[in-house]
Amino acid sequence: MLNVGKIEEGFVLDHIKAGESLNIYNKLGLDKLDCTVAILKNVRSDKMGKKDILKVECPLEMLDLDVLGFIDHNITVNVVKAGEIVEKKRLTLPKELKNVIKCKNPRCITSIEQELPHIFVLADEKKEIYRCKYCEEKAVKKI
Amino acid sequence: MRHLMSPLDFTVEELDKIFDLAGEIEKDPKRFAHVCDGKKLATCFYEPSTRTRLSFEAAMMNLGGNVIGFSEASSSSAAKGESVSDTIRVISCYADICAMRHPKEGAPMVAASKSLIPVINAGDGGHQHPTQTLTDLLTIRSLKGRLGGYTIGLCGDLKFGRTVHSLIRALLRYDNIHFVFISPEELKIPDYIIDELNEKNASYEEVIKLDDVMGKLDILYMTRVQRERFFNEEDYIRLKNFYILTKEKMLLAKPDMIVLHPLPRVNEISVEVDDDPRAAYFKQAQYGVYVRMALIMTLLNLEA
Ligand SMILES: [Zn+2]
């Protein structure tokens, strides 16, 4: 395996579906942060065949777990402090998403009301369906 | 403080209480004539719906209260670009309770989140119209004596009809109802409603012609079949007669069946049916006032 230097403080996102790492990089807004990021693509994995890994060196509170849980709750979040993994976080589907996805229903109040947050609520956990809190429009899971 | 956004906001038990109260109001309206003395209802209608607005206003006035409001967006601050959140904060200073109709889905919910007074959704686009559903339920309960244990036919535009979808969802909470969906192929009940029926193991059938099922219905809920829903004029003309209720079709019905319709009617119920004692759609409008009276009292925590 390709060797990438250890990080001091930050997180390692493991078990990302192969090819999805750049999408997650963007959705987490890592492009806007001035921190060290390693993107590993198509890493061999016993469990998944191939997987992606993201290593990010940044303060721990910078990570939005809700967004990550929404994108793919199978991702493992390893929290790193002083160069060691101190915690493995399991992601769950967030009950509510605020300003993560936008309601696309043109008849929805979110289309005209000033500064109204776009809020989606987990309506069906099994089918992973989110609905707009206001108009109940279904959200497309893939973002 | 409670609001009413969707017909399912209240539990079955809470609805029973509201319907019991509406029943008392029906029996002795005078007893309730001063329950809302000194109180004000604001009817904030961002799009015109005269019938709904008048029903709310009549309800409040029957309770001794007063009414303020606007009946279209162009005459209100919305025309100047004021948000729903700002408007309701101001209305909260003027009135004790608000009924809001808005063309945008979810607008009353935004209002409720910022409001200091109870907000009733009086229709938000194609989304919800809970007081219509409560009206339908009260009418059935009052005329049939129960909310479960019958065969109900829903006839007409079942694809786009918000009223019908809300009613089905509300009725799914009661036992032993057999649903008969009567519509042209083009206007069949949508799959997601069928999914809900299957999930709840509800008993239902879908048919094309009203005549074929008329004899087994205890309740017939009529809706409009709008010309513009059809691709071409020929189909419309060919099909529309299946869905027009006439004296002849009424001959096939049970003697104690009731006919409901959310109104306004266009031509889907022939005027000659109006004198049939089974025609209950004008009574339904009366129940609409009773249920709104009971709702206003409930949300304002008032007793007679
Ligand atoms: Zn929406």
Of A107, A113, A136, the CB nearest to B110: A113
Closest CA to B152 of B253, B27, B83: B253
**Ranges of chain B whose pLDDT falls below 70:** 75-76, 79
For residues A16 and A50, membership in a common domain is answered with: yes
Q: What is the pLDDT of residues A111-137, one digit of tens each?
A: 999 899 999 999 988 888 999 999 999
SS3 B203: strand
* A27 pLDDT higher than 90: no
Residues from chain A that touch B127, judged by Cβ atoms under 8 A, are 135-136
For residues A14 and A76, membership in a common domain is answered with: yes
Predicted pLDDT at B181: 98
* Alpha-carbon distances of B99 from B102, B163, B180, rounded to whole Å: 10, 18, 33
ipTM of the complex: 0.88
Asked, for residue A137, whether it belongs to a domain, the answer is no
CA of A106 to the centre of ligand 1 (A): 8
Asked, for residue A56, whether it belongs to a domain, the answer is yes
Polymer length in residues for chain B = 304
Q: Does B102 touch chain A (CB under 8 A)?
A: yes
According to CATH, the topology of domain B7-127+285-299 is Rossmann fold (3.40.50)
Share of chain A above pLDDT 70, in %: 94
Where are the CATH 3.40.50.1370 domain residues in chain B? 7-127+285-299, 131-282
Domain that holds residue A47: 10-90
Asked, for residue A83, whether it belongs to a domain, the answer is yes
Q: How many distinct structural domains can be found in chain A?
A: 2
Q: What is the pLDDT of residues B178-214, one digit of tens each?
A: 999 999 988 999 999 999 999 999 999 999 999 999 9
User: From CA B104, how far away is CA A134, in angstroms rounded?
Assistant: 10
The three-point CA angle B57-B60-B61 to 5° equals 85
pLDDT band at A32 (very low <50, low <70, confident <90, very high): confident
CB pair distance less than 8 Å for B83 and A108:
no
Asked, for residue A68, whether it belongs to a domain, the answer is yes
For residues A85 and A104, membership in a common domain is answered with: no
Asked, for residue A51, whether it belongs to a domain, the answer is yes
Q: What is the pLDDT of residues B103-136, one digit of tens each?
A: 999 999 999 999 999 999 999 998 999 999 999 9
* Bridging pattern class, strands B119-124 and B219-222: unpaired
For residues A64 and A32, membership in a common domain is answered with: yes
Residues from chain A that touch B106, judged by Cβ atoms under 8 A, are 108-110, 132-135
Predicted pLDDT at B228: 74
Residues from chain A that touch B83, judged by Cβ atoms under 8 A, are 113-114, 116
Asked, for residue A27, whether it belongs to a domain, the answer is yes
For residues A48 and A81, membership in a common domain is answered with: yes
For residues A34 and A69, membership in a common domain is answered with: yes
* A72 pLDDT higher than 90: no
* A53 pLDDT higher than 80: yes
For residues A80 and A116, membership in a common domain is answered with: no
* 3-class DSSP string for chain A: CCCCCCCCCEEEEEEEECCCHHHHHHHCCHHHCCCEEEEEEEEEECCCEEEEEEEEECCHHHCCHHHHHHHCCCCEEEEEECCEEEEEEECCCCCEEECCCCCCCCCEHHHCCCCCCCEEEEEECCCCEEEECCCCCECCCCC
* A3 pLDDT higher than 70: no
CATH number given to B131-282: 3.40.50.1370
| Least confident among A19-23, A61-65, B97-101, B132-136 | A61-65
Task: Dig out the tokens for B78 from the structure.
Answer: 């919305």
Return the higher-pLDDT residue of B31 and A70.
B31
The residue of chain B with its CA nearest to that of A117 is: B110
CATH number of the domain residue A52 falls in: 3.30.70.140
Asked, for residue A140, whether it belongs to a domain, the answer is no
pTM: 0.89
